[in-house]
C-alpha cells in the first residue's frame, strides 16, 4: 500500500547565544521561517543552510497527506495525516498518522539539494500535465535558503530531475509506512512479518522505498527476536545489509 499524507513540518532555528534567544518561546512548525543570522563573526556564525519540503496530498489514498522536511545537514522530519478513504483490503492494518524525525544519506542529500539549486529553489512552473494526465497526487516542493527560495505545485512533471526527486520523496514516505506496519505486526501478529518484509524487498528493488536507515530500529528488533520465524529474520538482516548506513562495517 503506497502511503501518502501531510501536515506541518519543522524548521531549523538558529540560536544567537543570548539569554533572550534561549528564553524565546518555541516557534510553530507551520510558520517558523529559516532565520537570517547575519554575517559571520570570526567564523563562529554561518549563514543559514537551506531547507527543502515536499508535501503530498491524495484523498484517494490512505494515509492521505504527508510532509517531509529536509535540512542541508541531513536531518529532517516527517508528518502524516490519515484521510477518509477506506483501506484497499478489509484485512489491512488500520491507518495511522506519524510524527517523527528522519535522516537522509549524504549521496541522496547532495543530489536533492543540487536539484533545488538547478531548479532555482523551485521558483518555477513545474507542472507539465494537462486534463488528459491521470491524477497522481498534488505535490508541492518548497525551498528556503540564503541563495534561493520558492515553491511549485504539480500533479505531473516531465522534468527528469523533478521526477527523480519526487520518486525519492515518495520512497522515503513508503519506507516509513512499511516501518510503521512492521512495528504493528511485530507487536500483534508476527506471522505476517515475512510477507511484509518480502513486500518491502520488492519495493526497494523497484525504487519505491528508499532510505532504509529510517526503519533500522524495527528491523533490528525483528532480527533479534527468537519468536519471529527464521526466514523473516533473515529478510530483516538482508535489508539491513543493503543500506550502507545500517550494514555492518
Q: Let me know how long the chain is.
A: 249
Instruction: Report the Cα 93 to chain-centroid distance in Å.
Output: 21
Q: Are the CB atoms for 9 and 53 separated by under 8 Å? A: yes
Q: Which residues contact 198 (CB under 8 A, 6 or more apart)?
A: 235
Each of the 249 residues of the chain gets a pLDDT tens digit; together they read 444 433 444 433 333 343 333 344 444 444 444 333 333 333 444 444 799 999 999 999 888 999 999 999 999 999 999 988 776 665 578 888 999 999 999 999 999 999 999 999 999 999 997 778 899 999 999 999 888 899 999 999 999 999 999 999 999 999 999 999 999 999 988 889 999 999 999 999 999 999 999 999 999 999 999 999 999 999 999 999 987 665 544
Which pLDDT score, from 0 to 100, does residue 83 have? 86
Instruction: Report the Cα 73 to chain-centroid distance in Å.
Output: 15
**Alpha-carbon span 153 to 127, nearest angstrom:** 7
Enter the C-alpha cell of residue 213: 536507515
Q: Which residues contact 245 (CB under 8 A, 6 or more apart)?
A: 105, 212, 213, 216
- Angle (CA) 167-170-174 rounded to 5° is 130
Under DSSP, the state recorded for 2 is -
Q: Are the CB atoms for 29 and 8 separated by under 8 Å? A: yes
Enter the C-alpha cell of residue 71: 535540512
Dihedral (Cα; 242, 75, 109, 105), 10-degree rounding: -20
Cβ neighbourhood burial of 106 (10 Å; 0-12, 13-18, 19+): exposed
Whether omega for the bond prior to residue 63 falls within 30 degrees of 0, making it cis, is yes
For the entire predicted model, the pTM comes to 0.77
132-136: long-range contacts (C-beta < 8 A, 24 or more apart)? 135/58, 135/60, 136/58
Q: Which residues pair with 78 in a beta bridge?
A: 68, 100
**Alpha-carbon span 152 to 120, nearest angstrom:** 11
**Alpha-carbon span 242 to 44, nearest angstrom:** 38
Amino acid at each position: 500500500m503506497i502511503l501518502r499524507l501531510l501536515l506541518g513540518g519543522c524548521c531549523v532555528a538558529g540560536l544567537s547565544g543570548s539569554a533572550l534567544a534561549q528564553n524565546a518561546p518555541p516557534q510553530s512548525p507551520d510558520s517558523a521561517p529559516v532565520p537570517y543570522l547575519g554575517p559571520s563573526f570570526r567564523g563562529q556564525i554561518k549563514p543559514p543552510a537551506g531547507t527543502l519540503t515536499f508535501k503530498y496530498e491524495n484523498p484517494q489514498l490512505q494515509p492521505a497527506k504527508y510532509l517531509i522536511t529536509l535540512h542541508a545537514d541531513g536531518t529532517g522530519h516527517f508528518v502524516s495525516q490519515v484521510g477518509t478513504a477506506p483501506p484497499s483490503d478489509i484485512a489491512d492494518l488500520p491507518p495511522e498518522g506519524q510524527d517523527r524525525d528522519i535522516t537522509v544519506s549524504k549521496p541522496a542529500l547532495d543530489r536533492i539539494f543540487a536539484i533545488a539549486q538547478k531548479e532555482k529553489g523551485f521558483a518555477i512552473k513545474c507542472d507539465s500535465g494537462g486534463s488528459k494526465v491521470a491524477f497522481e497526487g498534488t505535490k508541492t516542493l518548497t525551498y528556503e535558503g540564503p541563495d534561493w527560495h520558492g515553491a511549485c505545485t504539480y500533479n505531473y512533471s516531465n522534468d527528469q530531475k523533478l521526477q527523480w526527486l519526487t520518486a525519492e520523496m515518495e520512497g522515503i514516505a513508503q519506507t516509513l509506512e512499511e516501518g510503521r506496519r512492521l512495528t504493528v505486526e511485530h507487536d500483534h501478529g508476527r506471522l505476517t512479518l515475512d510477507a511484509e518484509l518480502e513486500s518491502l524487498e520488492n519495493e526497494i528493488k523497484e525504487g519505491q522505498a528508499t532510505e532504509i536507515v529510517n526503519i533500522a530500529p524495527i528491523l533490528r528488533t525483528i532480527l533479534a527476536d527468537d519468536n519471529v520465524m527464521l526466514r523473516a529474520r533473515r529478510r530483516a538482516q538482508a535489508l539491513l545489509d543493503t543500506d550502507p548506513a545500517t550494514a555492518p562495517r
